[in-house]
Amino acid sequence: MVDLVDRAQEAERLNTEDALTSLRLRVEAEKPAEKCKGCGGEIGEARRKAMPQAGRCIDCEEARERQRKLFYRRSGAR
């Protein structure tokens, strides 16, 4: 009987650990990026608050948008 209870407690402990790990990973994934994908510099706090999904600093995002506009203008693509 004791062995059965010990195994049940161990299983419950492992399930709890798995659930906590999963939660930690989800919370970590939802955090806004702090480093810019373009230049590696810091993404400003105001930008992170305004656009949590932003992966680039303002300067890199503006440069990317200029490049895309130029590409679309030259290629006629949409």
**φ, ψ of residue 74 in degrees (nearest 5):** -70, -40
CA 56/CA 72 separation, integer angstroms: 21
What integer is the mean pLDDT of 8-34?
84
CA 67/CA 77 separation, integer angstroms: 13
pTM score of the predicted model: 0.55
Q: With cut-offs at 50, 70 and 90, classify the pLDDT of residue 1.
A: low
CA 32/CA 20 separation, integer angstroms: 21
- Predicted pLDDT at 78: 58
Higher pLDDT: 48 or 25? It is 48
Q: Across all residues in the chain, what is the average pLDDT?
A: 87
Say if residue 72's pLDDT is above 70.
yes
Say if residue 62's pLDDT is above 90.
yes
